[in-house]
Amino acid sequence: MIRLGSDDEIDDSGASVGSAEVTVDGAGIAVIKLSGEIDMSNVDSLRDVIEPVVQETHDRVDFDLGALAFMDSSGIALLLRVAAKAGSVHLRGPSALVRRMIEATGLSDVLFIDP
């Protein structure tokens, strides 16, 4: 498992903190658990953790969003970047807000929301 970030939502400088934990499930699918907050202040650090996983995975990457408190458009852009490189991206446990954002923008054809 690879982990970036901490459990605190705001660091000492006032910037948002998000984390990414990478595991592989029983079916051999890479699962990236995002938690905390993802915005333009920390998305580059998260991308550094996620990119190597995407380079090794050629057909599917799952994101577990159950512990994600907030995600702005830079987080959506990160998911789309992964979708462009991986065969498919599935989202597990997105909040109602994230689900609506993906569906309203027509991205549910690219970012598949698992029930």
Q: How far apart are CA 97 and CA 3, in angstroms?
A: 25
Q: Which amino acid is at 104?
A: A
- Is the pTM higher than 0.75? The answer reads yes
* pLDDT score recorded for residue 6: 38
Which tokens belong to 21? 């934990």
Measure the CA–CA gap between 40 and 53, rounded to whole angstroms: 21
Q: Could you give the CA distance from residue 47 to residue 37 in angstroms, rounded to a whole number? A: 14
CA dihedral (55, 92, 83, 26) in degrees, to 10, reads: 30
Question: Which tens digits make up the pLDDT trace of 33-50?
Answer: 999 999 999 999 999 999
Average pLDDT of the chain, as a whole number: 87
